[in-house]
Structure 1
Amino acid sequence: MTFPETAGGVRPRPAAPAHGSPRPTAALPGLAVCLGAAVLAWGLGQLLPGVSPLLVAILAGALWRNLAPVPARLAPGVAVSGKRLLRAGIVLLGLQVSLGSVLGLGAGVLAVVVASVTVTFCATLWIGHLLGIGLAQRLLIASGFSICGAAAVAGVDGVTRAKEEEVATAVALVVLFGTLMIPLVPFLGGALGLEDQALGIWIGASTHEVAQVVAAGGTMGGGALAVAVTVKLARVLMLAPIAAGVAIHQRRSTQPAGAAGFAASAEGAASPGSAAVRRPPLVPLFILGFIVAMALRTTGALPEPVLAGTQVLQTLLLSAAMFALGLGVHVKSLLRLGYRPILLGALSTAVILATSLGGIAALGL
C-alpha cells in the first residue's frame, strides 16, 4: 500500500481502530525512517559545509513522495515526526537565540525586522482574502513566509486546527519559494551593490527558513552569514507573540454566545466531527518551551559543550520533521489546488523582499 492522494498531497491522519487506540509500536517504522533520514542529512551537512541538513531532508522526503510509493505503514510515525519532533526541535531552537545578540543588532535593524514581519503577515492575510483563500490557510502561509518557515507553520497550526492538506500546502510553498531565494537574494544584492552587512540583513530579514538563510548567507562569506543568521533569529522571536495573537483571535471567534452557544457546544460534544468542541490553547506549550529555552540561553548558564550538543539534537529533530513534511509534498496534488496559493506565496515573498529592502535603504546601509 502507499499514501493515498488527497487535495494537499498528504495522507490523512490515521484513524483509531474501532476497538481501542492504535498500538504505540505502530509509529516505530515511520519514526525510524524519518530519524534515519535525519542522520544521513546531518552527515551530508558535515561532509559538505554550507549544505543545510534541513533543506536536504525536506527535499529528500519530497523526492521520495513524488518519485516512488511510500508504504502506508509508515504513516503513524511520519505523523509523529511531522508534529511532535518538529515541536521539540522548535523548543531547542530557543537555545540558539540569545537576547543579547539580538539586541546587539541595534534599534534600526530590529525595527526593520518587526516591520518586515508585521507588514508581510498582514499583507498576506489581506491578499489571500482578495484571492478567496480560507482563513486557516492564509494564517499558515502568512506565518511561514513572514517569520520562520515550516517552524512557524507548525506553531500557528497548533492554534488554528487547520486541515492537514492546508499545512502541507503552506510547507510546500515555503520550500518552493525559500529555495528560490537562496540564489536570488545574493544575486539581487550584488546587482544592487549592497555591502556585506546590508546584504546579510536583507537575507536574514526576507528569506523564509533558517536553513535557507544559512544556505544563502554561506554563499556570501562569514561576515554576511553571521549577520543574516542573527537577523533571522530576531525574526524567530516574533513566533511567540504572533502565535499567541492568533490563538486569542481563534478563542474569541469560537467563544460560545449565550444559550445558542451552549447548545452548539453540547451538540458538538456529541458529534466528534464538530469544530466547536475545543478552542485552541492560548499559547501552545512548545511556544512556552521556546521562550524558556531562549531565556535560559540568555542567562549564559549553559556551557558551550551543552549548547553544541543541543544544537546537534535540534538539527536532527528538525531534519526528521522536515523529512516527514517533505513526504507530504505531492506536486501533482498541489498543482490541482489551483494557482491561488502559489500566487499568494509569490506575492508574499515579493512583499517581504520589498519591505526589508526598503528598511535597509531607510537605515542608509
Structure 2
Amino acid sequence: MEGMRPQPDIAGPTTVLDDAPHTQHKAPLWPGLLACLAAALVALGIQQLVPGLSALLVAILLGVAVAHAVALPRSLQPGIAVSGKRLLRLGIVLLGFQLALDDILALGWGTIAVVVAVVSAGLVGTVLVGRRLGLTHGQSVLIAAGFSICGAAAVAAVEGSVEREDEDVATAIALVVVFGTLMIGVVPAVLALTGLPLEVKGMIAGGSIHEVAQVVAAGGIIGGGALATAVLVKLARVLMLAPVVTVLGLLERRHAGEAVPAGAKRPPLVPLFVVGFLAAALLRTVVPLPDLVLDAAHLLQVLLLSAAMFALGLGVHVSMLKAAGARPFVLGAFATVLVSAVATTGFLLVA
C-alpha cells in the first residue's frame, strides 16, 4: 500500500493468482480490515486501562510489534492497504466534528495568528533544513507536516499530495511517535519551572506537541485549566490541515506541469476527505448536535484512525530506520525545537 512497506511474505498487488493459468481475481478486503479493526479495539481497551494513553500511539506500536514478531499472511494485504488509506481518510473527516469553529475563534486573533505562524514556520523551516541535510523533498514535507500540524494523521493525509517513497511515510510516522512521546514528559516538566499562568502553559503545550492525544496527556499533567486551552490550540493547528493539503496539491500540480502525460492522473487539488473534514467542522459549528452524536462520532473517529495507525505501523521496520540514517532524526529534533520555540515566543507575546 502507499505509505506502508510490505512484509516480504505479503503480496504487494491487490490481486492474487489462483491455480488456473491466466486467471486473476480480486482478493477479499475483509480479512485485513478485520485484523486492523481488531487491533484498534485492543488499542482502545488498553487506553481504557491506562487513562491518558493515546489509542493511536498504542495502535502504531502494536503494528510495529506485529511486523517484527510474525509473518502476516498475504491474504491480509488488500484490507491492510485499505485501512491505511481509506479508513484513515474517513477518520480525518470525523475529526472535523471535534472542531467548533466559534470556540477556536474565541481564542482571539492573536492566538490564531500564532497558530498560523507555528504551522507555517514549522513547514517552511523543516523543509528548508531537510533540503540542507540532503533529504528528499517528499521526506522533508512529510516530517514537516507531522511535526507542524497533527502528527501521524497529518503525515498520512499529506502523503498523497507529494512525490515520496513508501519508506518516507513510515519514517515520518516513527519520528512523530518518538519525539511526540518524549514531549509528553518534557513540556510539562519545563513549564513547571516557570511562573506562567496555567492558560499560557496550555497554549504553549497545544502549540508545541505533535499529536492531539499527546497534547491531552501533557495538558492533564500540567493540570488546572491548561488542558482545555491546550486542546483548543491544538485543534486550531489541526484545522490548518485543510489549507496545507490544498496548497501542497497546487504546488505539486505546478511542479508536475507539462511532465504529466495527457490523460494521466494529476495530484488532487482538494482531496475529497479534506472537503468532508471542513464540512464536518462547519456542521458542528452551525448545528447544535446532541452530545450522544458527538460522542459516537468521536469514538468512531478514534477507532478508524487507530485501525489506520496499526496498518501504517506494520510498515515501520527497525532495519528501514537504520537504513534511513541519522539525518531524519536530526530533522525531527530540529522541527520539534523550531515548533516549540515559535509557539513559546508567540504565546508569550500575545498573553
Larger deviation, residues 313-322 vs 57-66: 57-66
Alignment correspondent of 2:334: 347
Amino acid at match of 2:327: R
Deviations 1:236-263 (A, max 9, x none): 111111111110010011121xxxx5xx
Alpha-carbon distance in structure 2 between the residues aligned to 1:159 and 1:20: 34
Equivalent in 258, 275, 285 of residue 298 of structure 1: 285
Alignment correspondent of 1:272: none
RMSD: 2.2
Task: List aligned pairs for 1:251-270, cutoff 5 A.
Answer: 251-256=253-258, 265=261
Equivalent in 59, 65, 69 of residue 57 of structure 1: 59
Task: List aligned pairs for 1:270-349, cutoff 5 A.
Answer: 277-349=264-336
CA contact (8 A) 2:205 2:215 kept: yes
Deviations 1:171-205 (A, max 9, x none): 11111111111111111111233332111111111
Deviations 1:54-106 (A, max 9, x none): 12111222222234444443222221111111110000000110101101111
What TM-score results when the alignment is normalised by the length of structure 1?
0.88
> What's the CA shift for 1:20?
7.0
Alpha-carbon distance in structure 1 between the residues aligned to 2:93 and 2:261: 33
CA contact (8 A) 1:9 1:334 kept: no
SS in 1 for 2:159: helix
CA contact (8 A) 1:10 1:329 kept: no
Larger deviation, residues 76-85 vs 234-243: 76-85
Going from structure 1 to structure 2, the CA distance change for 1:8 and 1:356 (only over 3 Å counts) comes to: same
Alignment correspondent of 1:357: 344
Amino acid at match of 1:292: A
Establish whether residue 14 from structure 1 lines up as the match of residue 16 from structure 2: no
Task: List aligned pairs for 1:40-55, cutoff 5 A.
Answer: 40-55=42-57
Going from structure 1 to structure 2, the CA distance change for 1:68 and 1:189 (only over 3 Å counts) comes to: farther
SS in 1 for 2:110: helix
Alignment correspondent of 1:217: 219
Amino acid at match of 1:308: D
Task: List aligned pairs for 1:238-257, cutoff 5 A.
Answer: 238-256=240-258
Deviations 1:4-62 (A, max 9, x none): xxx9854488224575765251x222211110111122122233322221121112222
Alpha-carbon distance in structure 2 between the residues aligned to 1:119 and 1:304: 36
SS in 2 for 1:139: helix
Amino acid at match of 2:336: T
Alpha-carbon distance in structure 2 between the residues aligned to 1:173 and 1:97: 26
Alpha-carbon distance in structure 1 between the residues aligned to 2:11 and 2:181: 28
CA contact (8 A) 1:196 1:223 kept: yes
CA contact (8 A) 2:198 2:224 kept: no
Alignment correspondent of 1:140: 142
Going from structure 1 to structure 2, the CA distance change for 1:76 and 1:359 (only over 3 Å counts) comes to: same
Going from structure 1 to structure 2, the CA distance change for 1:227 and 1:306 (only over 3 Å counts) comes to: same
CA contact (8 A) 2:179 2:333 kept: yes
Establish whether residue 23 from structure 1 lines up as the match of residue 23 from structure 2: no
CA contact (8 A) 1:30 1:78 kept: yes
Which of structure 1's runs of 4+ aligned residues deviate more than 6 A?
A: none
**Identity across aligned pairs (percent)?**
51
How many residue pairs were aligned? 343
Going from structure 1 to structure 2, the CA distance change for 1:320 and 1:190 (only over 3 Å counts) comes to: same
CA contact (8 A) 1:250 1:280 kept: yes
SS in 2 for 1:347: helix
Amino acid at match of 1:330: H
Equivalent in 85, 88, 104 of residue 102 of structure 1: 104
CA contact (8 A) 2:4 2:312 kept: no
Long gaps (5+) in structure 2: none
CA contact (8 A) 1:62 1:327 kept: yes
CA contact (8 A) 1:66 1:330 kept: yes
Alignment correspondent of 1:74: 76
Alignment correspondent of 1:200: 202
CA contact (8 A) 1:8 1:330 kept: no
Alpha-carbon distance in structure 1 between the residues aligned to 2:252 and 2:152: 20
